[in-house]
Amino acid sequence: MKYTTSLMCSAVAAVALTVGTSVSADTIKIGASAPKSGPQAGAASAVYWPTLELWVHNVNEAGGLDVGGEKMMIELIAYDDKSQPDEAVKNIQRLTTQDKVDFLAAPYTTGLNLATAPLIARAGLPQIVATGNLNNLEPFVSKWPNTFWLLGRSSDLSTGIVGTLTEMREKGEVGSKVALVHVGDAFGLEMMAGGKPAFEEAGFEIVYESSYPLGTQDLAPVISSANASGADAFVAYSYPPDSFALTEQAQVQGFNPDVFYVGVGGALTGFGERFGNSVEGVMAMGGIDPTSEAYKTFREQQIEVTGVAPDYWANPVVYASMEILGAAIERVGSLDKATVISEIQTGSFVTVIGEVSFSDNIVEQVWNVGQWHDGTFYGVNAKGLKPAAEPFVKPAWSN
Amino acid sequence: MSRFEINLMLLAGIAITCCAALPFMTEGFYLTLAVNIALYIALCTAWTLFSGPTHLVSLATAAFFGIGIYATAIGIEYLPFPLAILCGGLAGALFAAAVGAMTLRLSGVYFVIFTLGLAELARQIVTYLQTKIFGSIGLFVLTDHTEGDLFYYLLALIVAIFVTGWLIGRSRLGFAMRVIGNDELVAKHFGIEVARSKIILFVISGGFIAMAGAIMAPRYAYVEPASAFNATMSFMVVIMALLGGTRRLWGPLVGVVPFTIVTDFISANFPEHINIMIGLAFLLIVYLLKDGVSGLIDKAMRTRRGTRLQGAKS
């Protein structure tokens, strides 16, 4: 009993001590709350944490941010939200009221960004969302004008592939028959809500349509049905595990449509490595201009500093969100939150994903579709940006 | 009513008044922490209502909680918030009745396994309905309720759970449950309707857990099946309740408070090693507190009373 009591007492005392730490004048405190454990931890440790670490490293390496003539170093305070809304809310409270951070990196995933938005708004901080999106963002932006949506609307992403297919059909490279599948969860449905009507409107014939439950391992029936439907293009609004599984099944069954497109995960460096030469011509959601100096430097730096190779979509967007925040602080020349927010709303920013700006807090430049070519993923369709390459018909699997 | 009980009620009254003053003292982090603590007190006590006397470990907390969240998410557009909470409780109770009627004849480990699957079942049903019928999965719960409001609702719920638990303890049902808990066969021979008693208790417990979910929905802002039906919650509730001890109605109370504070301390100071540190904390708890905190308190009180008696004799 005595041991436990003293243990509890020392725990309580230590909490009190941590709470007491004061704000140092010449550092900017940046708070972050994202998964280090729980179901989203794997994804966050690939596309979120290393990039955040790199940004802090780069800014501090350069002597800090120039705030009104004074160089201020960055101090990152990071907490684990265990992939749960309850924890995320508590972390944001701790960051804003106990640690008294100057700014925040936005949380990870759509759900947790929405759950924490009211609190972040109450603290008056900008929230530049790099890992979440929705079709209907307007009510959100009008309620919380401090939120910025750097991935754009879901419909931007879901209709990108429609644009690419239309472009290829005009050149006579691909027919009108599309097999359309999606994962049966929030993401898949949001994508279908935008994607399916867009395909129909553009005059494509949907010859096969299906959904599969999240977490399904056996996607062989989906691929064989799509194969049997005689589709010219295969489009899957999928999550990383199923993006890998669908690609593998298509290869196993020798399903060779002119266009083979998967959703999230297809832009991962690991995706290219997993399929080797066979990945040539596979399309996926996301993209970047991999030939730009900004991206090349970013890629080399992240590998050097964190040991984690970035992907061709999410990592650069997360990095861009921090670049925008840093640039806005420097331009305003102070840590005043409201003026930083209005600078983000009106300014234009040169980032690793290109020059971006916001209209009603929603980004106007979005990389939609990319395609693997020679082991690199090139953005072939983008809104408001110049594509990095022309789309081409996928050659047959090379195994 | 014994003098001990009167004293206890006075104590509870003072505690509730102190808690009610909390939102006036802090708006920020400590209030949020208090909401989390209050939430788990409500969940663990409601869980103990059923699992304490029956000794059946239920892992269905997440299922009831998620149902409550969805009740608010769907109902908030048409109903005032308190009514939505009641609807949530009703939905949870109905679900518990349906499930209980089917499964409470199961015993021991079969029941545990079934309840574990229940949250997943509820999640899949909701996902299916939303995919096939509504064509969208996320639901917005945009309200103006502050953390302070949620805290008051939870406080009211906790009081309701304790009063219910106290009433059950004094009723025929409570007596029946004690007999069942000690020996189900004996209870049957006494003519106690074992299955019916268990179902009633399961319904009460499930209804309260769903109400807790309904209260918390505004904090989620955007409700998805994956976040509403979170299996981790079921396990946390069991762990905290066992830490406190399930023999007493107030057992979970003395488990939740230290547990939440310790886990919070760990997650603030060792964000990279949460699971390892919590695991170590568990080991310490299991080695040092075998009967839970309430068992320890009981023992301390018994020895004190014992020495007092001895003193009177000599």
Taking the C-alpha atoms of residue B292 and residue A193, their distance in angstroms, rounded to an integer, is 52
Torsion, Cα of A29, A33, A36, A38 (10° steps) = 170
Sign of CA dihedral B239, B220, B17, A5: positive
Does residue A134 lie within any of the structural domains?
yes
- Nearest residue on chain B to A14, alpha-carbon basis: B265
pLDDT of residue B313 exceeding 80, the answer is no
- Mean pLDDT, rounded, of chain B: 84
Give which of B131, B270, B297 to mutate to test A binding, by max A Cβ within 10 Å.
Answer: B131
Claim to verify: residue A114 and residue A129 sit in the same structural domain: yes
Which residues partner with A72 through β-bridges? Answer: A65
Taking the C-alpha atoms of residue A189 and residue B278, their distance in angstroms, rounded to an integer, is 37
Sign of CA dihedral B142, B143, B147, B153: negative
Claim to verify: residue A240 and residue A377 sit in the same structural domain: yes
> How far is CA A370 from each of CA A109, A382, B42, B291, rounded to the nearest angstrom?
21, 9, 49, 59
pLDDT of residue A5 exceeding 70, the answer is no
Does residue A247 lie within any of the structural domains?
yes
Does residue A1 lie within any of the structural domains?
no
The long-range contacts involving A3-11, CB below 8 angstroms and separated by at least 24 positions, are: A3/B288, A4/B284, A4/B285, A4/B288, A4/B289, A7/B284, A8/B258, A8/B261, A8/B262, A11/B261, A11/B262, A11/B265
Does residue A43 lie within any of the structural domains?
yes
Quick one: DSSP state of residue A177?
E
CATH number at residue A344: 3.40.50.2300
pLDDT grade for B177, boundaries at 50, 70 and 90 = confident
- Mean pLDDT, rounded, of chain A: 90
Of the candidates A12, A85, A185, which has its C-beta nearest B261's C-beta? A12
Quick one: DSSP state of residue A95?
I
Q: β-pairing, A376-383 with A366-373?
A: antiparallel
pLDDT grade for A399, boundaries at 50, 70 and 90 = low
Does residue B249 lie within any of the structural domains?
no
Residues of A in contact with B216 (CB under 8 A): 86
Q: β-pairing, A103-104 with A27-34?
A: parallel
> How far is CA A49 from each of CA A43, A114, A240, A310, rounded to the nearest angstrom?
10, 20, 18, 11
CB contact under 8 A, A36 and B274: yes
Taking the C-alpha atoms of residue A358 and residue A126, their distance in angstroms, rounded to an integer, is 13
Helices B194-220 and B61-75 sit at what angle, rounded to 10 degrees?
50
Taking the C-alpha atoms of residue A282 and residue B60, their distance in angstroms, rounded to an integer, is 43
> Residue type at A137?
L
Residues of A in contact with B225 (CB under 8 A): 185
Residue B108 has phi, psi (to 5 degrees) of 55, -130
pLDDT of residue A140 exceeding 80, the answer is yes
- Asked if residues A310 and A51 have their Cβ atoms less than 8 Å apart, the reply is yes
Residues of B in contact with A89 (CB under 8 A): 32, 219
Query: What average pLDDT does this structure show over A173-195?
Result: 89
Does residue B191 lie within any of the structural domains?
yes
- Asked if residues A238 and A183 have their Cβ atoms less than 8 Å apart, the reply is yes
Claim to verify: residue A34 and residue A126 sit in the same structural domain: yes
- Count of domains for chain B: 1
Claim to verify: residue A130 and residue A158 sit in the same structural domain: no
Of the given ranges (A53-62, A143-152, A329-338, B10-19), which has the lowest mean pLDDT? Answer: B10-19
Taking the C-alpha atoms of residue A58 and residue A50, their distance in angstroms, rounded to an integer, is 12
Does residue B236 lie within any of the structural domains?
no
- Count of domains for chain A: 2
Taking the C-alpha atoms of residue A197 and residue A176, their distance in angstroms, rounded to an integer, is 15
Q: In chain A, pLDDT over 90 holds for what percent of residues?
A: 74
Question: Which residue in A358, A398, A388 sits closest to A164, CA to CA?
Answer: A388
Claim to verify: residue A169 and residue A96 sit in the same structural domain: no
Does residue B296 lie within any of the structural domains?
no
- Nearest residue on chain A to B266, alpha-carbon basis: A11
pLDDT at A21: 40
CB contact under 8 A, B29 and A184: no
Does residue A116 lie within any of the structural domains?
yes
Claim to verify: residue A238 and residue A373 sit in the same structural domain: yes
Of the candidates A1, A37, A110, which has its C-beta nearest B275's C-beta? A37
Of the candidates A115, A184, A211, which has its C-beta nearest B219's C-beta? A115
Does residue B253 lie within any of the structural domains?
no
Interface list for A 113-132 with B (CB within 8 A): 114-115, 117-118
pLDDT of residue A335 exceeding 60, the answer is yes
Q: Which domain range does residue A81 map to?
A: 26-153+292-366
Residues of B in contact with A184 (CB under 8 A): 127-128, 131
Claim to verify: residue A121 and residue A248 sit in the same structural domain: no
Does residue B213 lie within any of the structural domains?
yes
- Interchain CB contact of A99 with B (< 8 Å): no
Taking the C-alpha atoms of residue A76 and residue A132, their distance in angstroms, rounded to an integer, is 22
Claim to verify: residue A378 and residue A358 sit in the same structural domain: no
Claim to verify: residue A139 and residue A264 sit in the same structural domain: no
Number of helices and strands in chain A (H, E): 14, 16
Of the given ranges (A8-22, A29-43, A70-84, B23-37), which has the lowest mean pLDDT? Answer: A8-22
Residues B44-54: tens digit of each pLDDT: 999 999 988 88
- Asked if residues B180 and B194 have their Cβ atoms less than 8 Å apart, the reply is yes
CB contact under 8 A, B267 and A15: no
Query: What average pLDDT does this structure show over A249-265?
Result: 95
Does residue A63 lie within any of the structural domains?
yes
Query: What average pLDDT does this structure show over A213-218?
Result: 83
Taking the C-alpha atoms of residue B72 and residue B145, their distance in angstroms, rounded to an integer, is 13
Does residue B176 lie within any of the structural domains?
yes
> Residue A291: helix, strand or coil by DSSP?
coil
pLDDT of residue A170 exceeding 50, the answer is yes
- Nearest residue on chain A to B292, alpha-carbon basis: A1
Residues B221-273: tens digit of each pLDDT: 788 887 888 888 888 898 888 888 877 888 888 888 888 888 888 888 887 77
Q: How far apart are the first and last CA of chain A?
A: 66
Sign of CA dihedral B187, B193, B196, B200: negative
Of the given ranges (A37-51, A197-211, B9-23), which has the lowest mean pLDDT? Answer: B9-23
Residues of B in contact with A79 (CB under 8 A): 267-268, 271
- Interchain CB contact of A94 with B (< 8 Å): yes
Query: What average pLDDT does this structure show over B64-80?
Result: 91
> Residue B135: helix, strand or coil by DSSP?
coil
> Residue type at A268?
L
pLDDT grade for B181, boundaries at 50, 70 and 90 = confident
> Residue type at A343?
E
Of the candidates A3, A7, A98, which has its C-beta nearest B29's C-beta? A98
Measured in whole angstroms, how far is the alpha carbon of residue A12 from the centre of its chain? Answer: 38
Quick one: DSSP state of residue A23?
P
Taking the C-alpha atoms of residue B224 and residue B53, their distance in angstroms, rounded to an integer, is 34
Distance from the Cα of A56 to chain B's closest Cα (Å) equals 18
Of the candidates A14, A96, A115, which has its C-beta nearest B222's C-beta? A115
Taking the C-alpha atoms of residue B298 and residue B292, their distance in angstroms, rounded to an integer, is 10
pLDDT at B182: 83
Of the candidates B131, B232, B271, which has its C-beta nearest A189's C-beta? B131
Cβ-Cβ pairs closer than 8 A, A with B, add up to: 124
pLDDT at A7: 45
Taking the C-alpha atoms of residue A186 and residue B138, their distance in angstroms, rounded to an integer, is 6
- Interchain CB contact of A213 with B (< 8 Å): yes
Distance from the Cα of B41 to chain A's closest Cα (Å) equals 15
Q: β-pairing, A233-237 with A354-359?
A: unpaired
Claim to verify: residue A68 and residue A159 sit in the same structural domain: no
Q: Which domain range does residue B109 map to?
A: 3-230
Taking the C-alpha atoms of residue B148 and residue B134, their distance in angstroms, rounded to an integer, is 33
Residues of A in contact with B124 (CB under 8 A): 213
Q: In chain B, pLDDT over 90 holds for what percent of residues?
A: 27
Does residue A7 lie within any of the structural domains?
no
Claim to verify: residue A204 and residue A302 sit in the same structural domain: no
pLDDT grade for B309, boundaries at 50, 70 and 90 = low
CB contact under 8 A, B33 and A90: yes
Does residue A278 lie within any of the structural domains?
yes
- Interchain CB contact of A64 with B (< 8 Å): no
Does residue B35 lie within any of the structural domains?
yes
pLDDT at A18: 43
> Residue type at A86?
D
- Asked if residues B262 and A8 have their Cβ atoms less than 8 Å apart, the reply is yes
Helices (H), chain A: 2-19, 41-47, 49-61, 85-93, 110-122, 138-143, 154-170, 186-201, 220-228, 240-253, 269-275, 293-306, 314-332, 337-346
- Nearest residue on chain A to B263, alpha-carbon basis: A11
Claim to verify: residue A350 and residue A378 sit in the same structural domain: no
CB contact under 8 A, A11 and B29: no
